[in-house]
Structure 1
Amino acid sequence: MPNFNLGESIPLDTAHAVSVSLPTWSANVGYEEGEDWVVSRMTTGYPRFFIHRSIEAFANELVAKFGTKGCRAMLFPTKQIASRCVNFIRAKAPPSVVGNLEAIHLVLDATNPPSGSPQASLCPDISAVICSQEAWPYAKQYWQHTGDGVSSRRAEFCHGLFRDGLLRLDEATPTSPVPAATTQKSCRGPRRYQRPMSLDGGEKTSMPSNASPVGRGTDVAGSEVQETSQFLEERFGRNLDLSFVEPAKSAIRRRIAGALSNSKHELATSPFPEMESNTRGIVNLREDDVYLFPCGMNAIFNAHRALLGARGSMKSINFGFPYVDTLKILEKFGPGAVFFGHASESDLDSLEASLKSGERFLALFCEFPGNPLLTCPNLARIRRLADTYDFAVVVDETIGTFANVNVLPFADIVVSSLTKIFSGDCNVMGGSAIFNPNGRYYAALKAVAQKDFEDTYWSEDAIFMERNSRDFASRIDRINANAEAICNVLRADPLIKKVYYPRYNESRPNYDTCKLPDGGYGGLVSVTFHDRSHAVAFYDAIDTAKGPSLGTNFTLTSPYVILAHYQELDWAAGFGVDPDLIRISVGLEETEQIKDVFKSALAAAAAEARTDSK
């Protein structure tokens, strides 16, 4: 097993790693307490909780150039998203701290490139919300909850363009123009950046009204689009070929729909032929019913936004113990939410009573299974209630994965974090949402998406995700088998209080309703011990990678509740979530090898138990 030191990236030496090593119980507590001995050694962190060094470096440079002393900047991929962040800060922060709040927008070229060109695919624009230190916590709330922040790869690429003088302030930006010395910097790039622009006080060249956007000869603006596209292709192509971007996104969408076999012939065919079949059980599902996002939480956030746009402002239901930010989204970005924390039949009885009394809701959001207790809600009953009382159903299938379960027939929208087992390599973020074409709100949701959806999934990330996910289906069988083997080891040990796994939970019938004939019970296991000291000894001793995230190709262990709910441990305990719970994301190791790893860690816990008894 790899030996990860405190603060190292997981995987090792990976610039855009998704996890970070917290190898001891005390290191996890120290991280939550903000202790310097932990935080100062962290080279990276989970991307929605730790601002990547590449993003931070670019943000600091933008503040130095466009901000004032003491300000900070949060980076976003588009002007619209930055504006949403500004509106959130103004709505949530005290009026006294929003005085210096502003958004700036940096663009490569003002000309609108034709759809499908390399420039359109890359879209190397970036926006920043610059605010005071007092307003910063509110900007960070927006960034964490929504997943709307920039990808570290986007920040890295755009930072390079900025340093080369190839990004300029959007002409519509209310901030002062970029100094002429910056925009006229001599560099290898489009001629547009090597002569005065209207922004510099020079004469602006306009496209004739009858000119083709990709014309030649005297069509100056059209040639500039071609030139800029060629420049981007050459610059971007040092690492990845831009022509792969749209086929990669198409392949990801089809893979999520269950309509791509991953054969070399099929992947080489671009554009892909019409989808003829899929594994989702929805015959009329199309590729354009699948939407890609920069991370899973952003898929949830945008599903919520789409439903508010399609159905109007109503409270939602968070059904089951939630991943930390799902409930925050429903509470902070709309009229609020009703929370049913156990996902039990009793909770459904209470919900049904509220519905019968006349209460109405926008949507019910749930996970299948839930995190970290792996409880599965009764989707069949939820679907019947939704049809009777007119609310949407949004199911997060991240943990179950569509290789094991099929939840789309029960849902209006299915969301997933592609960062997890779909990718497996722990080096790229991604998220998805599927609109069920047979859902009651499908037409309204598609109309909202047609108007508001922005494809902010960064091109490099999409290419990495496509490559990582090619063997997704074949990895699941090994992970399912390893998880069951680990469960057998844990369930046989007298120090263990409870093992949480869909196969052994009381809600197994609900899981089996959605389980595919060849599916298993997934790669996530949670465990509690009778004594906290035994849990600590087990965690400190276990020879796996230890850090946040799940669904990695290697086994990854975490004291999940400490990391996710440190400020609300009593609240979590009220829903049966033990503060000392350890969550295990099972990987692809040889089965006997990973069993031995767990037996050794249990032996360390047993030694601690013997010490305690003396």
Structure 2
Amino acid sequence: MPLIELGDSIPPNTAHAVSVSLPTWKSNVGYEEGEQWVIGSMITGYPRFFIHKSIQAFGRDIVAKHGITGQQAMLFPTRKTANRCLEFIRDKAPQSALVDLGLLHLVLDPAKKTPDALQSVMPSISAVLFTPEVFPFAKQYWQHSGDGVSSRRAEFCHGLFKESILVLEEKASSSRTLQQKLGRGPKRYRRQASIDDSKNGSNGGHHHHYPVTLDAPVEDDTTDTLESSRFLEERYGRNLDLSLVPNAKSAIRRRIAGVLTADVELDSITSLPTMDSNARGISNFKEDDIYLVPCGMNAIFTTHQTLLKAREPQKSINFGFPYVDTLKILQKFGPGAIFYGRGSSADLDDLEDRLKNGERFLGLFCEFPGNPLLTCPDLVRIRRLADTYDFAVVVDETVGTFMNVNVLPFADVVVSSLTKIFSGDCNVMGGSMILNPNSRYYASMKRVMTDEFEDTYWAEDVIFMERNSRDFKSRIDRVNANTEAICEVLRAHPLVTNVYYPKYNESRPNYEVCKLPGGGYGGLLSCTLETKAHAMVFYDAIETAKGPSLGTNFTLTSPYVLLAHYQELDWAASFGVNPDLLRISVGLEDDLTSVITRALEAAEAVSN
């Protein structure tokens, strides 16, 4: 792959890319240190860590029109999600920072004639307004919960907002009169653009946003109506066939269930394979036991919130070295968590002792395999303890993927980030949660989900996710083969001290219990080299995309621990996670072993 310049999106020229290029070890350190030569170059970033520039632009325009000087805005898809953020801020931020804290809701103006299909996707926006002192707390909620608005939703709704079609909820009934009084601004300041136009607010820091002027002449109402109608028709007709969204969601759910493995047309739901009552090896499994959410972390957040409402709130267990925000969710929302960072048999012994001594827990959260050491917890023993001592088991299968492993028989809930290999194209976010219909908590969780769950997965993101995932099965097979080949090269080289991969780890027997007959060992591996200097040279030399995320159709390398745990490297090391570890998410390219060999040859030149 040609070198992707520092700060460019991965993939390049992609308006809603999920990753960003950090091509050298030094640039990763610069990113973590907040150095301007890195931060200032970034067109985008991982969406829960870097708020997309189209979202930032919309927030600024909302504040300019409806806020007060000095305020900032954090955008959410619904009133409920925004209120959760508000509650988090009030709980975590100092009292002195809570001045000018507010909430507003933007909805379609009922006085405007809009297509029924537009109303069906509910293009609403809720904004939490605050002073800069509050931003770190609002950002924490955004990052941990995954509740934030998607960049495609923000771009789309921003267009409606500029056209005065999306208005303040309390002013909706009188918005037509208000709009005529204020005017809509000079036409030259209003532009129409394709939703996926890479120049639409996401191409660096040179995009200008013009405020609606308040002293513009009143335009003819007939012209206004025709222009709004044409705007909506072009927006929807060209970019989004909303009639396909329900079928697209159904196709995604059936792919997750494992009953849809071939390409299908979405014109008719009858073309989709029916759900097998024994899908995923589980009896009574139904399509509506699968919930789609905006991102993988939101699946974990929603599961935890649901368990807190379905059961007596208690501490949770984070078992195994976690993806960074999973532990934060368990610690910051609810009664807290205990942490077993190695996920070992000894850790299970300690947990069993606690349980025998009367301690009780809400649920155990684990990954299968874990990230970045690719170890697998003993789900058989965990299931036995859960049944004996009454706690839920939540398994994140993102790394293993349901084409390689089936963990549902051992779990009460299975969560996954569809952003990763299920999509593969690195241009859309998504997540899923599956309720095991045979779980003892199924009925209570289902009641909570029926009462509380909001479908906030934006229609455009659904369409992109469905299209991307059509060849998921064939991609998994190729990625599995590529990854095993790379592992063999790394394992044979004297500079490589460890290769972490489910096939070679001590926990392989735990993986084999869940491995499907046609499955492999996944597309993620990690390795360590003799010294930090070797790791740095290897990383700088490797001819792959380099940035955050995983599960892309192209190979993506990252100094993962440096990025995920920069402020806590010693803490990570205490659980056997080397700060200089390199993580490689393997793609579909040909001859990847040569790419690895050349990077190793570069590392060989490092003087000891």
Q: Tell me, what secondary structure is at the counterpart of 2:280? A: coil
Q: Tell me, what secondary structure is at the counterpart of 1:510? A: helix
**1:179: how far off?**
4.8
The equivalent of 1:155 in structure 2 is 154
The equivalent of 1:607 in structure 2 is 605
How far apart in 2 are the matches of 1:426 and 1:278? 32
Residue 100 to residue 277, structure 1, CA distance change in 2 (3 Å): same
Shift >6 Å, 4+ stretches: 228-231
Give the partner amino acid of 1:155.
A
**1:2: how far off?**
2.5
**1:169: how far off?**
0.6
Q: What's the CA shift string for 1:290-335, capped at 9, x where partnerless?
A: 0001000001000001111100211100000010000000011101
How far apart in 1 are the matches of 2:331 and 2:276? 40
Verify: 1:166 aligned to 2:145, yes or no: no
**1:237: how far off?**
2.2
The equivalent of 2:361 in structure 1 is 361
How far apart in 1 are the matches of 2:229 and 2:437? 36
**1:511: how far off?**
0.3
The equivalent of 1:525 in structure 2 is 525
Residue 185 to residue 5, structure 1, CA distance change in 2 (3 Å): closer
How far apart in 2 are the matches of 1:552 and 1:566? 24
The equivalent of 2:459 in structure 1 is 459
The equivalent of 1:194 in structure 2 is none
Report matched runs for 1:305-384 at 5 Å: 305-384=305-384
Sequence identity percentage:
68
Conservation of the 8 A alpha-carbon contact between 1:233 and 1:241 = no
Conservation of the 8 A alpha-carbon contact between 1:169 and 1:178 = no
Residue 484 to residue 133, structure 1, CA distance change in 2 (3 Å): same
Q: Tell me, what secondary structure is at the counterpart of 1:366? A: strand
Residue 454 to residue 266, structure 1, CA distance change in 2 (3 Å): closer
Conservation of the 8 A alpha-carbon contact between 1:247 and 1:271 = no
Residue 369 to residue 451, structure 1, CA distance change in 2 (3 Å): same
- More divergent stretch after superposition (268-277 vs 578-587): 268-277
Residue 341 to residue 136, structure 1, CA distance change in 2 (3 Å): same
How far apart in 1 are the matches of 2:524 and 2:77? 32
Q: Tell me, what secondary structure is at the counterpart of 1:134? A: helix
TM-score by length of 1: 0.89
Q: Tell me, what secondary structure is at the counterpart of 2:75? A: strand
Q: Tell me, what secondary structure is at the counterpart of 2:329? A: helix
How far apart in 1 are the matches of 2:310 and 2:570? 37
Give the partner amino acid of 1:384.
R
Report matched runs for 1:151-550 at 5 Å: 151-171=150-170, 179-181=178-180, 185=184, 235-264=235-264, 268-270=268-270, 272=272, 274-277=274-277, 279-550=279-550
Conservation of the 8 A alpha-carbon contact between 1:423 and 1:472 = yes
The equivalent of 1:28 in structure 2 is 28
Conservation of the 8 A alpha-carbon contact between 2:259 and 2:273 = no
How far apart in 2 are the matches of 1:182 and 1:478? 61
How far apart in 1 are the matches of 2:181 and 2:594? 60
Give the partner amino acid of 1:308.
L
The equivalent of 2:123 in structure 1 is 124
How far apart in 2 are the matches of 1:230 and 1:336? 52
The equivalent of 2:219 in structure 1 is none
Give the gaps of 5 or more residues in structure 1. 189-227
Q: What's the CA shift string for 1:274-300, capped at 9, x where partnerless?
A: 413564101311110000010000010
**1:172: how far off?**
8.6
The equivalent of 1:15 in structure 2 is 15
The equivalent of 1:216 in structure 2 is none
Give the partner amino acid of 1:48.
R
RMSD: 2.4
Residue 85 to residue 580, structure 1, CA distance change in 2 (3 Å): same
How far apart in 2 are the matches of 1:472 and 1:458? 21
Give the partner amino acid of 1:511.
Y
Residue 178 to residue 65, structure 1, CA distance change in 2 (3 Å): farther
Residue 407 to residue 318, structure 1, CA distance change in 2 (3 Å): same
Give the partner amino acid of 1:421.
I
**1:230: how far off?**
11
**1:182: how far off?**
7.4
Give the partner amino acid of 1:136.
F
How far apart in 2 are the matches of 1:230 and 1:520? 51
Give the gaps of 5 or more residues in structure 2. 191-227
Residue 54 to residue 169, structure 1, CA distance change in 2 (3 Å): same
Question: Size of the alignment, in residue pairs?
Answer: 567
